[in-house]
A and B are shown apart, each in its own frame.
Chain A
Amino acid sequence: EVQLVESGGGLVQPGRSLKLSCLASGFTFSNYGMNWIRQAPGKGLEWVASISSSSSYIYYADTVKGRFTISRDNAKNTLYLQMTSLRSEDTALYYCALNYGSSFDYWGQGVMVTVSS
């Protein structure tokens, strides 16, 4: 059974940093692309970043480019999102998701990030 478990969220002041983790199990992590997708309270889904299986290809949404860094450690079956220069508009539930091709086939339960002073 595929499991994706996010952690690392919390309350952070504007301008500060936070690092999210997503621990994967139930599949061969190193074979699949991974993604971060977020959902602001009461709002829709917004893709944030993607990383290919070997980290060769990395993409970001314009809203986070230059501030967020996606990475992975295939030996630890873990996906990361380093978030810097956080803004109030980054407040959201952050999901990690596995992609098969261009669809997001499995999602974690999400981790909340709140940016507020």
Chain B
Amino acid sequence: DVVLTQSPATLSVTPGERISLSCRASESVDTYLHWYQQKPNESPRLLIKYASQSISGIPSRFSGSGSGTDFTLSINGVELEDLSIYYCQQGNSLPTFGAGTKLELK
């Protein structure tokens, strides 16, 4: 199975700052890497697909980059509503998820 390692596990943020979350795969997944946001007591929501493709209805401050084994989710100007857990997921083989990065208020 492809193991996805997300870092950091927790990130303390200040509204307005630009942040980057990392997802590293144990082997190449090409660009079959997707990002999800899960707010407390809600279902996950797809944010970015295939490493960098934007999703209709998702704010433009969210962007993704990377290929192979190293991927980044960036939020340009964090807002309070972005305080959530973010998961990466690979689809190059049987699906696996990273353990998540939790964004909290500094």
Which A residues are closer than 8 A to B by beta carbons?
Answer: 35, 44-47, 50, 59, 61-62, 95, 100-110
Docked pose: A59 CA to B49 CA in angstroms: 21
Docked pose: A102 CA to B32 CA in angstroms: 7
- Given that A44-B100, A47-B94, A47-B96 are known contacts, is A104 also in contact with B43, CB under 8 Å in the complex? no
Choose from A101, A106, A107 the contact partner of B91 (Cβ within 8 Å).
Answer: A101
B87 touches A103 (CB 8 A): no
Docked pose: A45 CA to B97 CA in angstroms: 6
Which are the 6 A-B pairs with shortest beta-carbon distances? A102-B91, A47-B95, A107-B43, A103-B34, A103-B49, A45-B97
B46 touches A104 (CB 8 A): yes
B87 touches A109 (CB 8 A): no
- Given that A45-B87, A102-B32, A103-B34 are known contacts, is A50 also in contact with B95, CB under 8 Å in the complex? yes
Q: How far is the CB of A32 from chain B (nearest CB, A)?
A: 14
- Between A and B, 13 residue pairs with Cβ closer than 8 Å are A44-B100, A45-B38, A50-B95, A95-B44, A100-B49, A101-B49, A102-B32, A102-B92, A104-B34, A104-B89, A104-B95, A105-B46, A107-B44
Task: Write out the residue numbers on chain B whose beta carbons fall within 8 Å of the beta carbon of A47.
Answer: 89, 94-97
A103 touches B43 (CB 8 A): no
Docked pose: A44 CA to B100 CA in angstroms: 7
Docked pose: A100 CA to B53 CA in angstroms: 13
Indicate if B45 sits at the interface (CB-CB under 8 A). Answer: yes
Contact with A along B38-72 (1 / 0, CB 8 A): 10000111100110000000000000000000000
Task: Write out the residue numbers on chain B whose beta carbons fall within 8 Å of the beta carbon of A100.
Answer: 49
Docked pose: A106 CA to B1 CA in angstroms: 24
Docked pose: A16 CA to B45 CA in angstroms: 32
Task: Write out the residue numbers on chain B whose beta carbons fall within 8 Å of the beta carbon of A109.
Answer: 43
A103 touches B97 (CB 8 A): no
| Most chain A CB atoms below 10 A, which of B43, B46, B49, B87 | B43
Docked pose: A62 CA to B93 CA in angstroms: 14
